[in-house]
Each structure stands twice: as structure tokens, then as C-alpha cells.
Chains A and B, each alone.
Chain A
Amino acid sequence: MTKILSETGSGKTIHTVSGITVRLCGDSGDGMQLLGTQLTNTSALAGNDVATFPDFPAEIRAPRGTRAGVSGFQLQFASEEIFTPGDLLDALVVMNPAALVTNIGDLRKGGILIANEDGFNDKEFKLAKLDSNPLEGDILEQSYRVFKVPMTRLTRDAVSELGLSNKEAERCKNFFAMGLVYWLFGRSLEPTLRFINDKFGKKLPEVARANEAALRAGWAYGETTEAFGLSYQVEAAHLEPGTYRNIMGNQALAWGLLAAASLSGKELFYSTYPITPASDILHELTRFKNFGVRTFQAEDEIAACGAAIGAAFGGGMGVTASSGPGIALKAEAMGLGVMLELPMVVINVQRGGPSTGLPTKTEQSDLLQAMFCRNGEAPLPILAPRSPGDCFAVAIEAWRIAVECMTPVMILSDGYIANGSEPWKIPDLTHFPRINITHPTDSGAAGGPFMPYARDENLARPWAIPGTPDLMHRVGGLEKEDRTGNISYDPANHQHMVNTRARKIDEIAERVAPQDVYGKTSGDILLVSWGGTYGACHTAVRQCQKAGLSISHAHLRYLNPMPSNIGELLKSFKTVLVAELNSGQLRMLLRAKYLVDCVGINKVQGKPFTVHELVDQIKAHALPHQAEAVHHKAG
């Protein structure tokens, strides 16, 4: 943190710093997610680069006050470009003892701890399984700058004139906390005041007034209380010029699907079954019926996938989404999609597995499922967005490939980017190339009977749709005869069709851009990563490059097929590290396909990588190369 000191009129000191990482934690009913979202939007509007990481329990109302019930929201806002929500915390806000004990380990030495003192009582200690008050004594003070604020009482006082019940009054305490945090980091109250008015102003005016009063009281508390002598300021970041908004991953996926539909002249049919963390895509899309969106909440995951294929058979844009367990159920229908050679997008917002696993936590452990979960040899393209905003472009690209190759395409998002957010430069949609789709109206130049399994230069078959006279044809899961599509048990034909379906997917690699590399295209170390770990991996590589290591970064968007230059790239480095939030799934694919002995950096804890753990691992792997360099010099 760079620090520039200045003084305010009230005699308080302001530090200007380049970035702040803060985590807001409380019970899952304490409104921490709302607080986090508001601070994010306000910081983004202030021109900071921001990155967020909401972290909440799977239970809607987990047992109150317990460690399992703690809900947290972490964000980093900065005056420079950032790619992660930060590692160690500069500030931690806790509303109860459970939140304190489960999060204090991430607060850096000398960091700020703000605790709602009123949330620390015998009942809460018992719920958090504590023998004593962790705020008592000066143990915390030895490591951190501790502020104990009686937020519940101060909130009650602030709204006392509004005639709310005690319970209603206390519910506003997250806005008090918000006001205090806003003061501490020099944030404007305006965007949140606007939010309060929009959300409650008309329907619940007394709630709006109470929340506003609590917000202002929190701010005033920071401004007037002597304990808070110092506040922080983060200047606007130097982002690429343009108009920006804040965007979450699931929202960007939903909007990307809308864009893909529009670019291809189709109306979206989105069929799905509720599952964490994918449901928000449904919630978002179902609002846009005036865009021609039809959403279908099916009776189960299988039905959701079947309906998307049914829509595709009729010429529609069928999309289904789920998370790992639901994808397992869709597998047979996806295989049919591969066999029918109909376009479709399947989204997997990955979460911790196996089985029900960790529904609200992030993981990248479904890559091999995406590759191989279908029976028989049923390859399909797989794409992974790297950040919340990138989900928009990936959704468009997935649909483009689906229709160009007449194939289901899978998108591997994850819980981290689905719920995370970042500033997003609003694109000019007129700059996106159109996605051309033709539905044949006759059997082709040669005349004769219609050949539903004839192929074009992309090996795609014609997308003839019901309603077209003379092109009546039958498709099905049984093996097809080449060209005619009739049922065929002929051995040579089966070999040909298996080969052709594989080649169709493999050849996509020749039409996508080669893999780009951050850094030199050869050297000691190449860090390979994919999907939602981009931010942490990119930041770690930058730090290691600054530290003088010979390291480059290749972040894959196309996981199947991989870009055509990947093999050569892997062989241009002495060491290939593969960082992923699983036990080595991409590594297995790279080793199998390119015979390069990649080394894994793996983590399966339901949490994203931190930058420092990646840097530590990279540095450990760099030691032999450095020793070698020394040896060469000495020699």
C-alpha cells in the first residue's frame, strides 16, 4: 500500500492507498451479502478496479450464531488493475463471535478489525463454541487495530424516532456497519441512498428511512468518534477508456446468451432445474421474456436437457444449465445431442464435489466429467470463462461453435466467478460478428432425396427443421448411416461415424485463435491454468516476473479441443506447472495428449487460490532453474 497522508477539516488523517482488501462477516441473516454488494458498486462507481468473493453457507438459515452459519463477502478495490479479491485482509468487519474466530486468521498483522460489540455476549459465545469473550484482554490488540463498536445499540438509537420494533430496528445494523465502512474508506453514501430509495422507498417507506438513518449514523460515528483517527482513500484506477458497469458471472452468462440469440436471429429457450450455484441464470433470464426468452423450469435435470434438445430439433436456441450433480443426470441426453448433431449449450457452474459436495463453494473438478461423462465416444467442445465479465463473451462463442459445428457445447463456469463481480466495460454490440444460421429449404443442388447427415466444410450436417416440406427425416440415438442418417449396424460405417464426430470437434482447433501467452513463448517455467483461477494465476505470474523469474502464463479458454499450438508451447518450457482447483484434471489431459510431464499446483478446499500460495509454489519450482543458472554462470 502506498501511503500519502493528508488532514481533513475535522482534524482526522487520510491515508491514500493503492488498494484495500476488506471482508465483511456475520451471521447468514445479518445482511453481509447486501453490505458487500453495495460497497462493491460504490467502489466501482468511484472508479476503482474491484474484485469480489462472496462466501456463504449452503443452508438458507444455518443455525444462528454458529461457525457454520457465518456468511462473508470479500472484496478488493484498488487504484491499479487487479485480478483477484485479494489474499490477506486489510480490514475485517465482524458482527458476531463466530465470524471473528472463523476469519481472523486471514487479517494481516496491523490490519483493522471492527467488531459489533453488542454481538459478543454469553449466548453468542456458546453458539460459537467459545469459552470466553475473544474481544476481552489485549491479545487481539497486540496484532491488530481493534475497534469495538456497539453497533446494535447505536443503530437502535439512530432509528428510535421512527417507531420500529426493537427487532426491526436491529435489522438495520448492517447499514450502520456499512456507513462506518464507507467513512473509513472515503466512499460516497449516494449510490447506497439511491439503492435504499429504489428498493424500499415506495413499498416500505419506514424501512427506507430507518436504513438511511442507520447508514448516516454509521458514517457519523466514524467521523466524530475519537477512536477513529484515520481513514483511507483509494483513487480511481486507470482502466481502459469506456463506459463501465459492475457485473457478476451468472448475470454475464445470462446476458451473453441474450446476445448470442440476438446475433443469430434466434429466440432463447432456457430449460433448467433449480440448483446452486446456477439458479441465478434462470432468475435473470426469466425477467427477459420481452427479448423472446422462454424459460422452462423442468421436472428434473434430465427433462431440462431433453427440452433443450427438443427446442433445437425445432430450430430453436436450446440452452440448459446446472452444476456437477445435475450435469451427471443430463449426461445421457447430452450423448443423444452429440449423436443427433444438434446445436445446444450446456452450462456447468461447478461447485465442490463429489456428490452433493460443497454446494456454495467453488471448485474446478468437473473438467473430466465434461470430457468423458457420456457413454461411448461422444466428444463435445468445452469452453471456460476466466472471470465474471468474460462469461459474456464465452456464452456467445459457445453458441457460435454449437451452430457452426452442429454440436452441443459445454461451458465450465464455477461458483467463484458465478457469484463474483468485477467492473465490465460495456461492449458495443454492433461490433460483434453475426452468427449465421441457415436452415435448408430443399435437398440441395444435386436434387435427389434429402441427406440429413451430409456434411459441410466444418463437417456439420444441415439443420433442417420441421415445417420444411420435402425434408422430412428421422433422427435418433441409434448409429446412423453416413449421409442418409438411416439406422445402420454396419461395422465400417460405425467406425467412420465415430471418427467423423471426433474429427468434427478436433478441427475446431484450426479455426480458433492460437493460445496466447503472457510473457515470453519459451523459458524456464510455463504456468498453465483455466477457468476462474485466471485472476490469481495472472497476478502470481506478474509478481514472479517482477521478481526476476523466467515464467510465462498460458490461460486456456478452449479446453476441448485445445488450441493447435498448445503442444509446441508446452515443449518450449523446462517446467510446466498446471494450477487448478482439483487434483490434476487438466494436467492429466495435457500429459495424455502431449506427453509433457506437467507438474500440478492443486487445491481442493472449496476456496479459490490465493496469490501468495501460488507465488510460494512457483518459487519453489523455480529453485532448480535458478541453481542451474548459477551453475552455468559459475561454469
Chain B
Amino acid sequence: MSLPVLKAADFASTQEVRWCPGCGDYSILAQMKKVLPEIGVPREKIVFISGIGCSSRFPYYMNTYGMHSIHGRAPTFATGLKSTRPDLMVWVITGDGDALSIGGNHFIHVLRRNLDINIVLFNNRIYGLTKGQYSPTSVQGQVTKSTPMGAIDHPLNPLSIALGAEATFVARSIDAHVTHLGETLKRAAEHKGTSLVEVYQNCNVFNDGAMAYAQEKGQRSENVVELEHGKPLIFGRERDKGIRLVGSHLEVVSLADTPVDDLLIHDEKDPNPAIQMMLARMRHPDMPEPIGVLRAVSGVPTYDEQINQQVQLAKTQRGLGDLQTLISSGDTWVVN
């Protein structure tokens, strides 16, 4: 029996999409619908789980199973679901406030457990749904409704946190860079273990253009370096610049006076996240920001696999439990 061939439209639910016109979320939704048919998992085997925020409306727009849960906790629902139903493909849709502020604890724990799910973190560096307060990824000095004199907190970098938790798949893409986004989502879906994709997403209402340096075609190639495994880090409109590792730091060099052989070769498979962390720490405007897969380490057992293996092992070693035997075991006595 051949499986029906699905198209992007088959993944659209009947619900009207209610993001603001021009929101970067539309692009992510479109790429997801485009990529899922290519992955080939039947719709009924896919579950989208989200927290709270603009991004978290995402599950309502997918014709799969879905849960719009509570703020920051999507990874927890995903953990219970995937641990008991490893046959399902589970996606967590979250944002910078949802994953990094209220849900920071769950975010690091799901990553370190390596549950076999995919997390897409829409990073727009602002609270959109609550109308414009600064978020944990807002830049220092950013003036928002809740920071009239500028934000004073140092922003969090989701990739650094993920690498710090030694997540097995860490990537970044950009809403407006649709081919790259689609390919990155596909790589995330194919990875066994927790995959994190940070997506630079423009909030055109409350934080318009905050990441224009990376989103806009005219600026992107100067400000972003696309990572490819086994390839040297080269960027620039003319592909005339590269990244070199000197001692324990990275520097931008001109290919006019530095041979390509001197450039850092990207190794996404290195289990040691040290150099990947250096890449994550490259921030605009001092350095180009990396997009693509920073880290993809295979062969690490997943949480869901192990929790089920222990159950199987116990059943094999001790036989299927018999409750009547259990409650009748140990010291008992008979009353006549």
C-alpha cells in the first residue's frame, strides 16, 4: 500500500491565522507546512505543543494533533507525551519569553535529557502578545514599554544555553531566509534527540527591524556566516572574509591576505561544545552571527528511548508483574 502523498496545504488546519500582517511567524508556519510532507511522517503521528505567546498559537494552525499549553511549560507536556508515546513526532513551539524566561528551567532540563523532540524557538527579542515589554533576549539599552530608560539586564543567548546543557542538536535560522529555514527545520526533524532551532523572527509591531542586519537580503551576507559541516567559515557579499581561530578566540580575517586553509573548519559533530560555544558567542556588530547547524552530535541515547528500555528490561528480567502476587508477598497471616 502506498502512502498518500501530502502537500503543504494538507497540513493547514481550518482555523484562521491571527498573527499581525507582516509577522515573521507566517514564514515559519509556511516552511513547516512545506517541510513536513517531505519528512513523510503521517499527520496523525505529529503533535505540536506550545506554551504561551504569539508563537504559541502555532499548533492551532497545523492539521496535526496539538496542545496550546501554559506559559513556559511546553517541554514538560512534551516530556510526558514522548516518554509514553515514543512513536509520535513531537514539536515544541516556543518564544524567547516562553522558553528563556518563565520556562527557563524546563528548557535546560529537556535539552540535557535529550528527549527526542524538536524545539523551534521564535526569537523576536520582545514580548509581543503582552504588547511590547522587553524580553530576556532584548539587547541592553533597549527602550520598551517596561524599560523607558533602556533595558539594563544582560541578554540571554539561547544557543549558549543549549550548548551549555550539551544539547545534541543546536541550530539557528532566520524567518526571512526561507530556504535556509526549511532546510534547518528538516535537519532538526531528522535528528534523533532534542533539537533546538532558534529562528530570528521579526515582530513588525513592537520590535520591527531589531534583527534587520540578519534578515534583510542586502545586509545579511555581511552580517551572517552560514555554517556548513566540514567547510571553512567564509562570509561577505563577495565571500571575501573568513573566521579564524586564534588561541581561544575567533577573529574575522580578510581572504585577501589570509589563505582559506587558515580558516576555522566547522565541525558540528564535535562532542566538545567549546568551539561551537565560541561561534554562538559571535554577536553583531562585532562579529557576523552564525546561522545553520552549530552542533549535531549523534549516538547519544534519548530520554524516551531509555525510560522505555528500562521498562522492557525489567519485564524481560523479572517477568511481567503480577499484582495479586505482589500484594500477597512478604509477611502475611490468615484469620479464620
Identify which of residues 302-326 in chain A touch chain B, using a CB-to-CB cut-off of 8 Å: 302-316, 318
Taking CB atoms, residues of chain B closer than 8 Å to A53 are none
Pairwise interchain contact A41-B80, C-beta atoms closer than 8 A: no
Pairwise interchain contact A296-B307, C-beta atoms closer than 8 A: yes
Taking CB atoms, residues of chain B closer than 8 Å to A241 are 335-336
Taking CB atoms, residues of chain B closer than 8 Å to A312 are 80
Pairwise interchain contact A333-B70, C-beta atoms closer than 8 A: yes
Which of B106, B308, B315, B324 contacts A294 (CB under 8 A)? B308
Which of A336, A468, A487 contacts B60 (CB under 8 A)? A487
A290 interface residue, CB < 8 Å from B? yes
Pairwise interchain contact B68-A474, C-beta atoms closer than 8 A: yes
B249 interface residue, CB < 8 Å from A? no
Which of A298, A426, A476 contacts B328 (CB under 8 A)? A426
Knowing A45-B331, A245-B330, A289-B314 are in contact, say whether A469-B70 is a contact too (CB < 8 A): no
Among the 9-residue stretches B40-48, B208-216, B267-275, the one with 4 or more Cβ atoms under 8 Å from chain A is B40-48
Which of B64, B68, B81, B317 contacts A310 (CB under 8 A)? B81
Write the chain B residue with the least CB distance to A266: B84
Pairwise interchain contact B333-A309, C-beta atoms closer than 8 A: no
Smallest CB–CB gap between B57 and chain A, Å?
Answer: 9
Size of chain B's interface in residues, with CB distance under 8 A?
A: 62
Smallest CB–CB gap between B76 and chain A, Å?
Answer: 3
Knowing A289-B310, A314-B88 are in contact, say whether A245-B70 is a contact too (CB < 8 A): no
A293 interface residue, CB < 8 Å from B? yes
Provide the bound-state CA to CA distance between A298 and B68, in Å.
21
Identify which of residues 60-97 in chain B touch chain A, using a CB-to-CB cut-off of 8 Å: 60, 62-70, 73, 75-85, 87-88
Which of B47, B83, B87, B106 contacts A311 (CB under 8 A)? B83
B264 interface residue, CB < 8 Å from A? no
Knowing A243-B332, A255-B323 are in contact, say whether A311-B70 is a contact too (CB < 8 A): no
Taking CB atoms, residues of chain A closer than 8 Å to B321 are 258, 288, 290-292
Identify which of residues 217-236 in chain B touch chain A, using a CB-to-CB cut-off of 8 Å: none
Knowing A47-B335, A244-B332, A426-B328 are in contact, say whether A296-B83 is a contact too (CB < 8 A): yes
Taking CB atoms, residues of chain A closer than 8 Å to B63 are 472
Pairwise interchain contact B326-A255, C-beta atoms closer than 8 A: yes
Pairwise interchain contact B105-A299, C-beta atoms closer than 8 A: yes
Taking CB atoms, residues of chain A closer than 8 Å to B335 are 47, 236, 238-244
Pairwise interchain contact B78-A293, C-beta atoms closer than 8 A: no
B320 interface residue, CB < 8 Å from A? yes
Q: Mark A461-480, 1 if CB is under 8 A from B, else 0.
A: 00000111111111111100
Smallest CB–CB gap between A45 and chain B, Å?
Answer: 5
Pairwise interchain contact B84-A299, C-beta atoms closer than 8 A: no
Taking CB atoms, residues of chain B closer than 8 Å to A255 are 323, 326-327
Provide the bound-state CA to CA distance between A336 and B313, in Å.
34
Identify which of residues 294-336 in chain B touch chain A, using a CB-to-CB cut-off of 8 Å: 307-308, 310-311, 313-315, 317-321, 323-324, 326-328, 330-336
Smallest CB–CB gap between B250 and chain A, Å?
Answer: 33
Which of A262, A288, A310, A473 contacts B80 (CB under 8 A)? A310
Pairwise interchain contact B44-A245, C-beta atoms closer than 8 A: no
Pairwise interchain contact A44-B333, C-beta atoms closer than 8 A: yes
Taking CB atoms, residues of chain A closer than 8 Å to B323 are 255, 258-259, 262, 291, 429
Taking CB atoms, residues of chain B closer than 8 Å to A111 are none
Taking CB atoms, residues of chain A closer than 8 Å to B308 are 294
Pairwise interchain contact A191-B44, C-beta atoms closer than 8 A: no
Which of B75, B84, B334 contacts A243 (CB under 8 A)? B334
B59 interface residue, CB < 8 Å from A? yes
Provide the bound-state CA to CA distance between A473 and B43, in Å.
11
Write the chain B residue with the least CB distance to A42: B331
Size of chain A's interface in residues, with CB distance under 8 A?
A: 72
Knowing A289-B310, A306-B73, A466-B65 are in contact, say whether A313-B81 is a contact too (CB < 8 A): yes
Smallest CB–CB gap between B321 and chain A, Å?
Answer: 3
A269 interface residue, CB < 8 Å from B? yes
Taking CB atoms, residues of chain B closer than 8 Å to A429 are 323-324, 327
Smallest CB–CB gap between A264 and chain B, Å?
Answer: 13
Knowing A292-B315, A307-B83, A466-B44 are in contact, say whether A313-B73 is a contact too (CB < 8 A): no
Which of B73, B88, B318, B333 contacts A467 (CB under 8 A)? B88
Q: Mark A226-255, 1 if CB is under 8 A from B, else 0.
A: 000000000010111111111000000001
Pairwise interchain contact A333-B73, C-beta atoms closer than 8 A: yes
Pairwise interchain contact A475-B68, C-beta atoms closer than 8 A: yes
Taking CB atoms, residues of chain A closer than 8 Å to B324 are 428-429
Smallest CB–CB gap between A202 and chain B, Å?
Answer: 18
A300 interface residue, CB < 8 Å from B? yes
Taking CB atoms, residues of chain B closer than 8 Å to A300 are 105
Pairwise interchain contact A467-B45, C-beta atoms closer than 8 A: yes
Pairwise interchain contact A245-B65, C-beta atoms closer than 8 A: no
B13 interface residue, CB < 8 Å from A? yes
Smallest CB–CB gap between A309 and chain B, Å?
Answer: 6
Smallest CB–CB gap between A234 and chain B, Å?
Answer: 15
A332 interface residue, CB < 8 Å from B? yes
Pairwise interchain contact B73-A315, C-beta atoms closer than 8 A: no
Taking CB atoms, residues of chain A closer than 8 Å to B327 are 245, 255, 426-427, 429
Q: Mark A422-460, 1 if CB is under 8 A from B, else 0.
A: 000011110000000000000000000000000000000
B49 interface residue, CB < 8 Å from A? yes
A271 interface residue, CB < 8 Å from B? yes
A515 interface residue, CB < 8 Å from B? no
A340 interface residue, CB < 8 Å from B? yes
B109 interface residue, CB < 8 Å from A? yes
A486 interface residue, CB < 8 Å from B? yes
Pairwise interchain contact B314-A290, C-beta atoms closer than 8 A: yes
Smallest CB–CB gap between B62 and chain A, Å?
Answer: 8
Q: Mark A279-298, 1 if CB is under 8 A from B, else 0.
A: 00000000011111110101
B15 interface residue, CB < 8 Å from A? yes
Taking CB atoms, residues of chain B closer than 8 Å to A469 are 42, 44
Pairwise interchain contact A302-B76, C-beta atoms closer than 8 A: yes
Pairwise interchain contact A315-B85, C-beta atoms closer than 8 A: yes
Taking CB atoms, residues of chain B closer than 8 Å to A302 are 73, 76, 106
Provide the bound-state CA to CA distance between A45 and B62, in Å.
61
Write the chain B residue with the least CB distance to A258: B323
Taking CB atoms, residues of chain B closer than 8 Å to A262 are 323
Pairwise interchain contact B68-A478, C-beta atoms closer than 8 A: yes
Write the chain A residue with the least CB distance to B321: A291
Pairwise interchain contact A290-B44, C-beta atoms closer than 8 A: no
Write the chain A residue with the least CB distance to B334: A243
Write the chain A residue with the least CB distance to B328: A426
Taking CB atoms, residues of chain B closer than 8 Å to A471 are 44
Provide the bound-state CA to CA distance between A423 and B111, in Å.
46
Pairwise interchain contact B68-A269, C-beta atoms closer than 8 A: no
Taking CB atoms, residues of chain A closer than 8 Å to B313 are 289
Write the chain A residue with the least CB distance to B47: A466
Closest 9 CB pairs of A and B: A310-B80, A476-B68, A306-B76, A307-B80, A291-B321, A289-B314, A310-B77, A474-B66, A310-B81
Q: Can you sample 13 A-B contacts with CB below 8 Å?
A: A245-B327, A245-B333, A258-B326, A267-B311, A294-B83, A303-B105, A306-B70, A306-B73, A333-B70, A429-B323, A466-B65, A474-B59, A474-B66
Given contacts A242-B334, A259-B323, A466-B46, 7 further A-B contacts (CB under 8 A): A296-B79, A298-B79, A307-B79, A310-B76, A313-B77, A429-B327, A469-B44
